[in-house]
Amino acid sequence: MERADQLLTDLQDCEAASLVGAHDAGVEIAARALQTARDCGLLPEAALAAAWLAEHQLRRGESEKAAESARAALAEADALELHQVGIKLRNTLTRAWCQLGRADEALPEAMWALGRARSLGAPGLVSRSLSSLAGVVELLGDHPHAVTLLHKADEEAQRDSDKVAQFSAVVNLAGALCRTGRTLAHLPGPLAPTEAQAADLREALAVVQRAKALAQGHVRWEMVCAEIECLSLEALGRLAEMRAAVDRHRALAIQAKAPDARAESELLHADWLLASGRALEACEALDQQVDAAAAQRNEGCRRWWWRSRYRAFKAAGADAQALAALEAMVVQVRRDRELSLNAQARVLLGEVRMEIAQQELAQLRREAQELRERADVATQTSLLDPLTGLANRRALDARLRAVLPMGPGPAEGFSLALIDIDHFKQINDGWGHDVGDTVLCEIALLLTGGVRGGDFVARIGGEEFVVLLWGQALDDASLACERLRQQVQAHDWSRFVPGRQVTVSMGLACAQPLDDAAQLLRRADQWMYAAKREGRNRLQGG
Averaged pLDDT for residues 17-25? 79
Residue 310 near residue 322, CB atoms below 8 Å = yes
Residue 123 near residue 157, CB atoms below 8 Å = yes
* Domain membership flag for residue 379: no
Give the percent of the chain with pLDDT over 70: 83
Give the percent of the chain with pLDDT over 90: 33
**Distance (Å, rounded) from C-alpha 428 to C-alpha 437?**
9
Least confident range of 36-45, 160-169, 339-348, 499-508: 339-348
* Domain membership flag for residue 535: yes
Q: How confident is the model at residue 349 (pLDDT cuts 50, 70, 90)?
A: very low
> Among the ranges 59-63, 90-94, 470-474, 510-514, which has the highest mean pLDDT value?
90-94
Q: What H or E segment, with its residue span, contains residue 262?
A: helix 259-275
Please give the pLDDT value at position 295. 47
Q: How confident is the model at residue 407 (pLDDT cuts 50, 70, 90)?
A: low
Cis bond before residue 190 (omega within 30° of 0): no
Q: What H or E segment, with its residue span, contains residue 530?
A: helix 517-533
Range of the domain at 237: 161-182+193-273
* Domain membership flag for residue 72: no
Closest listed residue to residue 77, CA positions, set 107, 21, 37, 39: 37
DSSP structural state of residue 391: B
Q: pLDDT tens for residues 145-164?
A: 888 899 999 999 998 888 88
Please give the pLDDT value at position 330. 57
Core vs surface per residue 404-435: b (16+ CB within 10 A) or e? bbbbbeebebbbbbbbbbbebeebbeebeeee
Q: What H or E segment, with its residue span, contains residue 505?
A: strand 504-510
Please give the pLDDT value at position 64. 87
Please give the pLDDT value at position 238. 92
Q: How confident is the model at residue 440 (pLDDT cuts 50, 70, 90)?
A: very high
* Domain membership flag for residue 290: no
Averaged pLDDT for residues 88-106? 86
> Among the ranges 111-115, 160-164, 370-374, which has the highest mean pLDDT value?
111-115
Give the contacts of 301 (CB within 8 A, at least 6 positions apart): 260, 263, 264, 267, 294, 295
Q: Which of 45, 109, 227, 463 is catalytic?
A: 463
Tell me how long the chain is.
542
Please give the pLDDT value at position 242. 93
Q: pLDDT tens for residues 232-271?
A: 998 899 999 999 999 999 898 888 776 777 878 888 888 8
Strand arrangement, sheet containing 456-461? 456-461, 464-470, 414-421, 504-510, 539-541
Averaged pLDDT for residues 444-460? 93
Q: pLDDT tens for residues 150-204?
A: 999 999 999 888 888 888 899 999 998 988 887 654 444 456 678 888 899 999 9
Above 80 in pLDDT, residue 376?
A: no
Please give the pLDDT value at position 194. 84
**Distance (Å, rounded) from C-alpha 331 to C-alpha 325?**
10
Please give the pLDDT value at position 247. 93
Above 70 in pLDDT, residue 380?
A: no
β-pair type (504-510, 414-421): antiparallel
Q: What is the pTM of this model?
A: 0.57
Averaged pLDDT for residues 71-91? 89
* Domain membership flag for residue 154: no
Please give the pLDDT value at position 173. 92
Above 60 in pLDDT, residue 339?
A: no
Average pLDDT, the chain: 83
Above 80 in pLDDT, residue 355?
A: no
For residue 408, the domain's CATH number is 3.30.70.270
Above 60 in pLDDT, residue 408?
A: no
Averaged pLDDT for residues 35-44? 88
* Domain membership flag for residue 368: no
Residue 270 near residue 286, CB atoms below 8 Å = yes
Determine whether 380 is exposed, middle or buried from the number of CB atoms within 10 Å of its CB (0-12, 13-18, 19+).
exposed
Q: How confident is the model at residue 369 (pLDDT cuts 50, 70, 90)?
A: low
Averaged pLDDT for residues 493-521? 92
Please give the pLDDT value at position 189. 45
Above 60 in pLDDT, residue 359?
A: no
Domain limit, last residue, from 223, 252, 273: 273
Q: How many folded domains does the chain comprise?
A: 2
Please give the pLDDT value at position 481. 96
Concatenated DSSP letters for 50-96? HHHHHHHHHHTT-HHHHHHHHHHHHHHHHHTT-HHHHHHHHHHHHHH
Domain limit, last residue, from 227, 249, 273: 273
Please give the pLDDT value at position 354. 43
Domain limit, last residue, from 254, 273, 292: 273
Averaged pLDDT for residues 393-422? 81
Residue 201 near residue 218, CB atoms below 8 Å = no
* Domain membership flag for residue 171: yes
Task: Give catalytic status of residue 412 as yes or no.
Answer: no
* Domain membership flag for residue 346: no
